Structure 1
Amino acid sequence: MLPGLFQPASTADLQAQLARDFPQRLVLASGGRQALLECGAGPTVVLLHGIGSGAASWLQVAQQLASRARVIAWDAPGYGDSSPLESPAPKAEQYAARLLQMLDTLGVEDCVLVGHSLGALPALALARSTQAQRVRRLLLISPARGYGAAQFAERRQQVRQQRLDNLEHLDIAGLAEQRSAHMLSPAAEPQALAWVRWNMARLNPDGYRQAIELLCGDDLLRHGAPDMPCDVHCGDADSITPAATCLSLAQALGARFSLIAGAGHASPIEQPRVVAGLVACALQESLTGSPL
């Protein structure tokens, strides 16, 4: 392989890089503790993962950004070492409140906020809250709308039951084995598949159940369009939140839209350099008003 091109890493290699380059911190939060990964210095980028993942899924994106930004990725409530929320069926605002507590503890006054998949819901909830000034720019990557709107009532029950049944009958390890390939494009490298599977296998059942309720009981669009600039990106081979769906969400939110070539749903793992470039461009625009 030519110098400078991406060198695939094994899961063991990535775990070692995670401990070295993107170490975990624990901070106190209402109801318990909040886990996060942090690296770099400079203007802050905050990364929120999706329902079947965790903070570590952002490792390779964070490595690319660490030379120009302070990069923070949370393990959502109930994920990793983060305490779950009190409500068994939380809404996006409750996740956003925990996120705000984390930002306060870390001394983050403003940031570029990035929500992937289900992470889009708490991201937009914070961006539409009374603390919206804390978000300089919003990026939603393959955003999940959720099934909380009235027109999705039948689908909502199907999705909830299917996910809960899978959790009961497959357990977390079986869920990771069955679902990992759906997160990526057909052309994904084995190393990317292994990293998706490793992240998914670390799910906590209680946190995952709460996230299922967020997915099924909330609606991204009920929050309305954010006041700050917003971008929506989607993998061109995303079969979970397809391009047409993401485009319609972008239009509803008044956001710019673009496709990520060669990526399925888990683009931060499958195309980390491209995703890091999109985040870096958003960061630059948030600071100067001009793209890179």
Structure 2
Amino acid sequence: MSAVPSADVDANATLEARLARFPARQTELAKQRVLSYREADGAAANDALPLVLLHGIGSGAASWVQQLEALGANRRVLAWDAPGYGMSTPVAPESPVAADYASVLTEWLDALHIERCVLVGHSLGAIIAGAFAAVHPQRVPGLLLLSPAGGYGAACADVRETKRDQRLAMLNELGPQGLADKRSDNMLSSHASDEARAWVRWNMSRVIDRGYAQATHLLANADLAADLARFKGRVNVAVGADDTITTPAACERLALVAGTQLQVVPRAGHAGYIEASAAYTAIIDTFCRASAGQRSQ
């Protein structure tokens, strides 16, 4: 395992101290399963719509700390660790589909008595958010997709298998820490701060092999466009101008399916909500208020 650069240690210590305000919690689900998450509930008693944040394949609930800080004063904000991440129990199938994760999301929201929420999905999290919204449109007054991964479910078998096997081989070769060391910079633009780079590495180094492998299968099996075509509610799609993973062109195609215009954020890469947190937090806040019929601040 490679040594952690001293700059990373300092940056991570700062962010971990901020993260301590939102300690990991666990909700018990059926069949002795649990779902771990972080929550900012300073405004849980008011009538603002709850905001639920779903992370991508190489991340976790902790990655949303800046949004928990900025948005938690005015509404209930929850960021989950997807099944197989953090302390969350993995889904049962080794090659799951989006419905498997959406079912867990449904069970978790039910356990927390959240009937309706604004749902934000980043990258792979967008696939899960889209699957949930397609089945439960009445529970999603707003669906916001940040750098959404479309999945390879509509591609031919050769493409699906190749994409899946390449990522699994990389996981087997490098492990989570190796992925963080070698792949985390791909998540960011050239404008990202050292602190943002350190935080992306921190989150990626903490993924769990089995959860990441199952999420890799999910990516190969999923077809977000099909779920967006079924969902007739309010959708927005945003992407960083410098995103090389889910490119603006790819996100534009998903926005067209959803019947919305793509919002492009300058000077941001794939993990835009980390490196350009003020811009993305403003996008999320504006969307939440519009979804609830409120004026944006």
Q: Report the TM range for the smaller structure's normalisation.
A: over 0.9
Determine the C-alpha separation between the residues in 1 that align with 2:181 and 2:118.
33
Q: Distance in 2 between matches of 1:138 and 1:230?
A: 5
Does structure 2 retain, via aligned residues, the 8 Å contact 1:117–1:141? yes
Which position in structure 1 is the counterpart of 2:177? 173
Q: 1:225 Cα deviation (Å)?
A: 4.2
- Native 8 Å contact 2:189 2:242 kept in 1: yes
Q: How does 1:147-166 map to 2 (within 5 A)?
A: 147-151=152-156, 153-166=157-170
Where has structure 1 moved over 4 Å in runs of 4 or more? Answer: 289-292
State the match for 1:122 in structure 2.
128
Which residue in the other structure is 1:64 paired with?
70
- C-alpha offsets along residues 202-242 of structure 1, whole Å, 9 cap, x if unaligned? 00001011100000111111222422110000001000000
Query: Aligned residue for 1:4?
Result: none
How many residues matched? 281
Offset at residue 107 of structure 1 (A): 1.2
Determine if contact 2:117/2:140 at 8 Å carries over to the other structure.
yes
Matched, 1:27 2:27: yes
Corresponding residue of 1:183: 187
Going from structure 1 to structure 2, the CA distance change for 1:290 and 1:256 (only over 3 Å counts) comes to farther
2:217 corresponding residue in structure 1:
213
Shift of residue 172 of structure 1? 1.1
Deviation per CA, 1:175-194, whole angstroms, max 9, x where unpaired?
Answer: 11111000000121111010
Partner of 2:84 in structure 1?
78
Given that residues 188 and 271 in structure 2 are in contact (C-alpha distance below 8 angstroms), is that contact kept between their aligned partners in structure 1? Answer: yes
- The CA deviation string for residues 156-197 of structure 1, in whole angstroms up to 9 with x for no partner, is 222211111111111111111111000000121111010000
Deviations 1:83-108 (A, max 9, x none): 00011111111101101111111111
The counterpart of 2:285, out of the listed 256, 269, 280, is 280
Letter in 1 for 2:163: V
| Offset at residue 150 of structure 1 (A) | 3.2
Instruction: State the partner residue of 1:194.
Output: 198
Contact 2:241 2:265 in 1 (8 A): yes
2:248 pairs with 235, 240, 243, which one? 243
Q: Does structure 1 retain, via aligned residues, the 8 Å contact 2:40–2:73?
A: no
Give the C-alpha shift of residue 155 in structure 1: 2.7
Give the structure 2 partner of residue 15 of structure 1: 16
Gap regions ≥5 residues in structure 2: 1-9
CA contact (8 A) 1:30 1:98 kept: no
Aligned partners of 1:115, 1:23: CA distance in 2, in Å? Answer: 21
Q: TM-score, normalised by structure 2?
A: 0.91
Separation in 1 of the partners of 2:30 and 2:204?
26
Cα-Cα RMSD? 1.3
Change in CA separation of 1:135 and 1:143 when aligned onto 2, cut-off 3 Å: same
